[in-house]
Amino acid sequence: MTIPMEALMHKKANFERDTERYHDFREELLNLADSGEIMLQRITGETAEVPTKYGRMKRIQKGHLWHHKSCGQCGHIPGYSTSIFWVMRKLGYDSLDPKDQTSCTAWNYYASATSNAAAQAAVAVRNFAAAHETGYYPMIHCGTSYGHYKEVRHELMAHPELRREVREVMKKLGKQLVLPEEIVHYSEWFHAMRHEIAAKQTRDFSNIAVTVHPACHYYKLVEGDAIYDPDVYGGQRTAVVTALAESLGAEVRNYSTWFDCCGFGFRHILVQRDFTRSFATLRKIERMKEEADPDVVLTHDTGCVTTLDKSQFATQAHGRNVGIAVMSEAQFAALAMGAHPYKVCQLHWHSADYRPLLEKMGIDHEQAWAEFQADLARLERGEKRYLDWDDVDA
């Protein structure tokens, strides 16, 4: 008796991972902690468990988090950062937005190479030690920081001489060699919290079509930490962003260059933008437009939002088939939960036209802009020096 087609389809319908095959790096990390080589920051309090690429469950601490901010987000897409803060506040989880934090400096490392393994590890460990001192658990906002810190962790685990060197440098700062038990990206928190986020949804997204761009540094660098869920893409692609968008009722559409990089290039986005622009539009935006025609591209990294958003203007001037709103899934989730498009999501910092998307979401962007302008007028009149969290929800 031969297998009929149904049997083949049945076999392929359900992918189960054999988790026993894979080496768990945490054993080694615990050994290093036990032998006093490193200080491990442990996950505490309420957690959510999510599956990673090879089936290992990753625990995501829900609250009491230390925001490891992103240079590019804070500098050029501030609504990315404020949306992360805002969603966390709305869900009732406490966090700390520290001043005792530097960039991971990996943008520089990948762009200009004016750094080295020891410096990069020391910068990472300094930030981890700073988080550890506060008792808050680090949550990394940037995909590149997240990817690079995983590289650093790998290098520190593999090379005793590097550990020695970094410990020496840390000693001069009065700090220890601290690593967190899990390196957690904010999009993993959003993924783990997607049902809690959906439970507080106030806007209907059922008519919104999205495409997802997954960030290379999230799932290609030290790939075993990335989240894969058997229920999303059959467990064959990372589930972050996609699962959240689906939880919010949006339609996630496929396109044929899903795995492609955005074209950021680190140095290219700044000094060789013709490459970045060509890649971002020809390989990503135009393909999405042609094959999926989405209302918005959702992604989960600083460089990808910047590249995909900023590359469309000049290309549009050449009459190419571009013109899709771009934002992070954090901003998208915030909008779903009723966030103000300007006061919270800061969409006026974005370039690709997001207004048709807001209209589809049922948001009166002209009125929203007027509200934001009224707030700005208060600042200009000197009524307040800064807006704060009470203002954005007013």
Q: Which residues 316-355 are close enough to bind other proteins by CB under 8 A?
A: 343-344, 346, 348-351
Which of 11, 49, 348, 328 lies closest to 184, judged by CA?
Answer: 49
Q: Does 130 bind other proteins (CB under 8 A)?
A: yes
Considering beta carbons, is residue 58 or 205 the nearer one to other proteins?
58
Other CB atoms closer than 10 Å to residue 14's CB: what's the count? 9
Helix or strand (DSSP H, E) at 125: helix 117-134
Binding segment toward other proteins, per CB under 8 A, in 31-39, 72-80, 330-338, 361-369: 72-80
- Residues between 138 and 157 with contacts to other proteins, criterion CB under 8 A: 147, 154-155
Sequence-separated (6 or more) residues with CB below 8 Å from residue 122: 166, 169, 170
Q: Does 212 bind other proteins (CB under 8 A)?
A: no
For the CA atoms of the chain, what is the radius of gyration?
22
Which of 187, 111, 117, 106 lies closest to 155, judged by CA?
Answer: 117
CB-CB contact of 289 with 253 (8 Å)? no
Q: How far is the CB of 379 from other proteins (least distance, A)?
A: 5
Q: How far is the CB of 332 from other proteins (least distance, A)?
A: 19
Other CB atoms closer than 10 Å to residue 381's CB: what's the count? 8
Considering beta carbons, is residue 205 or 219 the nearer one to other proteins?
219
Q: How far is the CB of 91 from other proteins (least distance, A)?
A: 16
Rounded to whole angstroms, what are the CA distances from 307 to 147, 221, 289, 315?
18, 19, 16, 12
Q: Does 72 bind other proteins (CB under 8 A)?
A: yes
Q: Sign (positive/negative) of CA torsion 238, 243, 246, 248?
A: negative
Tell me the per-residue interface mask from 221 to 240 with other proteins, x by CB under 8 A, - otherwise.
x-x----x----xxxxx---
Residues in a beta bridge with 251: 209
The 8-class DSSP code of residue 174 comes to: T
Residue 328 identity (one-letter amino acid): S
* Token reading at 91: 């869900």
Residue 356 identity (one-letter amino acid): P
Q: How far is the CB of 114 from other proteins (least distance, A)?
A: 5
Q: Does 293 bind other proteins (CB under 8 A)?
A: no
Backbone angles phi, psi at 39, to 5 degrees: -105, 130
Q: Does 241 bind other proteins (CB under 8 A)?
A: no
Q: Does 388 bind other proteins (CB under 8 A)?
A: yes
Report angle CA 275, 276, 278 to the nearest 5 degrees. Answer: 65
- Residue 302 CB-half CA count within 13 A: 28
Which of 253, 247, 229 lies closest to 332, judged by CA?
Answer: 247
Q: How far is the CB of 85 from other proteins (least distance, A)?
A: 6
Which listed residue (291, 338, 355, 368) binds other proteins by CB under 8 A?
291
- Residue 175 CB-half CA count within 13 A: 21
Q: Does 211 bind other proteins (CB under 8 A)?
A: no
Q: How far is the CB of 275 from other proteins (least distance, A)?
A: 5
Binding segment toward other proteins, per CB under 8 A, in 37-45, 96-104, 203-211, 324-332: 96-104
Q: How far is the CB of 13 from other proteins (least distance, A)?
A: 8
Q: Does 387 bind other proteins (CB under 8 A)?
A: yes
Considering beta carbons, is residue 88 or 184 the nearer one to other proteins?
88
| Residue in the structure block whose two tokens are 């060197």 | 165
Q: Does 71 bind other proteins (CB under 8 A)?
A: yes
Q: How far is the CB of 223 from other proteins (least distance, A)?
A: 7
Q: Does 10 bind other proteins (CB under 8 A)?
A: no
Which listed residue (46, 100, 231, 366) binds other proteins by CB under 8 A?
100
Which listed residue (107, 149, 186, 189) binds other proteins by CB under 8 A?
107
Which listed residue (35, 49, 172, 382) binds other proteins by CB under 8 A?
172
Q: Does 86 bind other proteins (CB under 8 A)?
A: yes
